[in-house]
Each structure stands twice: as structure tokens, then as C-alpha cells.
Structure 1
């Protein structure tokens, strides 16, 4: 009688993990200068929408930072993700539109998504993948970033479609930051290559920006002296469950965009202000829109200094709205 042999199970393979329905993203902490040391790698700070691409059996889902399903808004990314050589995966990254210099442009992304009239096509949106959280039955979040990147790169490196690799740079952080700012980029991200993936804001991912930039709720506007145009946006930040007025923004839009913004805001005008504010020429609006604003600093009385408009979006995904610390 022949001797029966049994295959020994490999002790190295972890058990299959269920695919998470959603993962809260790891968020970078703003710091003044890049960290030093060989345990840090650097990437360009992309100027777009943070999204997670979920590849599942028979479907692709694209979720925003706040958990909204925006698959229909990124059809070319979803279509290209179906071509990746994976069965199941969650890929973390940023959806962007590149200008003719190869820089990500948030305003162009807004127009491609239909926020404002534009010649920018939806197909111009590309997804820069920078992390891999799940792959073919394995939850990778407990692995160091170095290992997650090792698994991500073969999947997306060298691709020129809608899904691409966000290149990692092993360099001197301060020199890379200087070059990034000189090329008109928003800034850089530093990531500790030995750390696992942790949802929420932490020290293991750090952002260093060439200028400060945040999102604020639009609570009204002041008309321009030019009929039918926008003079100034009135902005608010969150403080707990309340909105607090943080000043205005009067630059950053073209002649045509000024008129378009004025029309959009006039359509949501209201008699009831969302913040405590009295201004003679103010037209208050429903707090339905969020403005992306670049600014230099805060004044002593808690207002934005030298604010410039960069883009607008609906408030539905309000995870990124600037939050004031409660006193």
C-alpha cells in the first residue's frame, strides 16, 4: 500500500483578511522643514483630490477622503484600474490634472469635474498611486511603508494611462523641498519608510508646503464694483459644530471665472448668515460650497492674511475643512 503524503501548510502565510469597505486615510502633519535621516523618503505633494481606489470582484469603487463614492466622477481612473493585474486591492493616492509644465493644478481638476465651464476633459484626470493597503486577500496596513511600496510598484510603475505611480525620492529633504518650490509645486511629503499605515493624522507622514493652503466654507460674498462680478469671498472655518468667520479672499480668479462664481453664489443666497458677521455690502449664502485658499499666515485676530483663491467644490465631502482649535 502506497504511503500517503500530506502537504505541510506554510507557516509564513497569514490568513486571508476580509476586504475593508473603507479605510480612513493616513493624513500628513504640517511641519516647518523636512525631517532628516535615511528612514525618510519624499514625494511631490499633489494638488488634487485624495481618493482610494477599491478593486473588488466584478467592480471598482473610488472613495473620497470623507467616504463618498465618486466612481462616476472618475470614469477613466476606474476603467484603467480594472486593467491592473490584481484580483482585489485598495490603492491610496491622489486624483489630479496636470498643466503643460507637468504640475498638478487644482483649478483644472475642478473644471474637469464640471464645477466650472472649461475645455478640460474628464479624461485628463490621472491617479497618482502612493500606497497599497490591501492586495489579493491580504491586509497590508501592518507592514512597513517600504514593504507596501515594494508591492505597489510592480503594479503601477511605468504606466502612462490614468493610473500611475507617485515616484518616491531618496534624497536630501531640504534640497528636494527647495527644488519643488522653485518649480512652482505646492510642496513635498515626507514618509517614514519603517512605519505601518495608520488612519488619521500622525507624525509618520509630514507635509512641508511652499505656501499655506487650506479649505474654508464659503458663507457669502461682496459684489465687485464691476457689475455682475465677484469682489470678495467671505470664508469660515469649523470650530466644533460651529462655523467661525476667518476673513475674505479677493484674488485668484480670472474675469470669466469671477462672473461664473458670482452667478453660482447668487443662486444660493440667503437672508440667514451662517456666521456672526455684519458687513454693509455682504450677500450671505447657504454654506454649501468650500473654497480652496492659499494664504501666507494668520493675523493676530484670527483672520487669513494675503489669501488667494485656488478652487471651489461642494461641501458634501467636508473632511478637509480647516478646523480652529477650541479655546
Structure 2
């Protein structure tokens, strides 16, 4: 008897999602204390550059938070990414350099990237992956965080090279925050395990910092009494479409870094200040650079209190300049 063949049409498979050229990152909202509900997970807050690593057929791309292509700056991350067991993927994470105590150090990262003279090598840069946005033809942004982490962890967990997993900590948020601050970390991140990946700033990702830290535009400097050294940075924040002076920063750099910063700023001096300010010894610069500054609070007249320099960025690299309301 001839075998009867079925004329039933096989079910249609859902179409594959094309890999996005770029995804605006999910950003954490600054809050005063960790959430206390059980559906939140915690991670260390890394002090580095936020990056998206795109793995595509025949190439790897590394994009900054602002969408700039920095692939050539991270050759060791590219090399490891090429060998991951994926066809296509987008990893969300942070590029850092660790100090001798295992803490991320933004200044060391800048030196490894060649922004300032240093013995820190580029191969010291580590990418900590904390989310997976796309994998093998599927856009994962609709999935809750716990599902995205379930897919992420087998790909990078246990690695000790240039690509590693940013570990989740299942713990009491207050206790984890206390320990993080005691160990000199910048703070912690809290993420709601049931929420999808949403671009922009929202309450589903929260950051709790041991001290306040923000980015400000460098609009000038005051020279030190030591020739060719930096005395004080002059800083500005955004207000609508303008820059507004918010005070200065005179600590946070070594003797050698003071000279290096002075030389960098002296190369972009201008006679047209970006802010309305009269100071006897001020030297104004083009608003091309951004200072990462740690501070305790704001004064009543809108100036930074106890500001300390933590690092420098190019303005084009950074879309997080502090904005006054």
C-alpha cells in the first residue's frame, strides 16, 4: 500500500528579528537607598565606559553610550568577542580597568586608552557584561531581566579574560550597599528582575552611590603657583541650551597628572568664555572636555561642595552632562 502523504502545511515559524544597528541603553535612576522588595537583584556599580558589543557575521562593533564607534580602541575585547559561542548578539556592559584591590578605576581606564601618558596597557581593559539585548536572530528586549540573564550567563560566566560576567548578588540591598561603600566602591545598581529592557532612564534600574558623582563641562582653569601645573578646574552644567558656571574643583590629581592636565587644557585656550564669569586668574578653554567629579552636595548659591576630580572625557563621548533644573 502506498504511503499516504500529508498535504497539511507545516506551521509558519515566527520571523527572525533583524539585529538593530544601535540600541539606546537603559539608564539607572539615582535614588537614596536600595529597594527592599524581593523581585530586585543587585550588582556592583562599575566606574568605566558604558559600551554595547555588537557581534555580527564577519565583524564585531563596539559602540559607546552616545553611539560612537570605538571598536578600534578595544582590540582585546573584540578578539574575545569574536570567539564567543554566538552567531549574532548585542551585549550591554561596562569597560573598566581594575586596581590592585579589584575595584574599577576610571583614571586607569583613561590611561589605558591613551588619553594621558601611562604605563597602564590597553590589554588591562575588561568588559563586564550585565545584559544581553539580542541573541542569534532574536531581539530579547521584550523578555524580563531574569530571562535575559539566564541566556547571558552561560555565554560569559566563569571567564577571566577581556570579557567577563557582571555578577548578580542576591542579598539584602542595605547590607550590600554598606559593604560596597566600606570597600571603596562607587556604589551599587538595583534592577527589577521582571522588567523588559527599556531605553532611557526609568525606575526599573536604580543606582545608589556612596557619594554623589556627575559630569561637568570644563570651561577653564586657574593655574597653580607651581609653573605649568593645574590649580583649579572651572566647571559648568547645562541649563536649557546654555552652560552655567557651577564652581571649581582643586583636588583629586597627583603632581604628574596636574602637569598633564594643564598641558591638555593649555592647548584649547580661548578668548571667548563659554560661561559668564569674572575671575582674576581664570584661563578659559573651549568647552571640549568633561570632568567626572565626586562631591558631597550643592551650596545654596548653586555651586559644588567639596568637589574632587575623578577623570576626564571628551565632550563628544559623553551625553550625561549634569543639567540644572
TM range (shorter): over 0.9
State the shift of 1:15 in Å: 2.5
State the shift of 1:313 in Å: 1.4
- Counterpart in the other structure of 2:156: 156
Say whether residues 1:36 and 2:36 are aligned partners.
yes
- Counterpart in the other structure of 2:244: 244
- Counterpart in the other structure of 2:178: 178
Q: How does 1:85-234 map to 2 (within 5 A)?
A: 85-234=85-234
Name the CA distance, whole Å, in 2 between partners of 1:310 and 1:184. 14
Name the CA distance, whole Å, in 2 between partners of 1:7 and 1:307. 72
- Post-superposition Cα deviations, 1:207-239, rounded to whole Å, max 9, x if no partner, equal 000001111110000001111110000001111
State the shift of 1:5 in Å: 4.2
Paired residues in the alignment total 324
- Post-superposition Cα deviations, 1:99-137, rounded to whole Å, max 9, x if no partner, equal 000000000001001111100000000000000000000
- Post-superposition Cα deviations, 1:143-202, rounded to whole Å, max 9, x if no partner, equal 000000000000000011100000000100000000000000000000000000000000
Say whether residues 1:27 and 2:27 are aligned partners.
yes
Name the CA distance, whole Å, in 1 between partners of 2:277 and 2:8. 74
Q: 1:35 to 1:301 in 2, by over 3 A?
A: same
Name the CA distance, whole Å, in 1 between partners of 2:60 and 2:264. 32
TM-score w.r.t. the length of structure 2 is: 0.98
Name the CA distance, whole Å, in 2 between partners of 1:127 and 1:5. 52
Name the CA distance, whole Å, in 1 between partners of 2:253 and 2:10. 63
Name the CA distance, whole Å, in 2 between partners of 1:88 and 1:4. 37
State the shift of 1:14 in Å: 4.0
Q: 1:227 to 1:131 in 2, by over 3 A?
A: same
Give the secondary structure class of the aligned counterpart of 1:316: helix
State the shift of 1:3 in Å: 2.0
Q: Output the aligned Cα RMSD.
A: 1.2
Name the CA distance, whole Å, in 2 between partners of 1:10 and 1:251. 66
Say whether residues 1:18 and 2:18 are aligned partners.
yes
Give the secondary structure class of the aligned counterpart of 2:208: strand
- Post-superposition Cα deviations, 1:36-56, rounded to whole Å, max 9, x if no partner, equal 111000000000000000000
Name the CA distance, whole Å, in 1 between partners of 2:4 and 2:149. 45
Q: 1:146 to 1:60 in 2, by over 3 A?
A: same
Q: 1:224 to 1:19 in 2, by over 3 A?
A: same
- Counterpart in the other structure of 2:322: 322
Structure 1 stretches of 4+ moved >3 Å: 5-11
Name the CA distance, whole Å, in 2 between partners of 1:9 and 1:70. 45
Unaligned runs of 5+ residues in structure 1 are none
Name the CA distance, whole Å, in 1 between partners of 2:272 and 2:141. 46
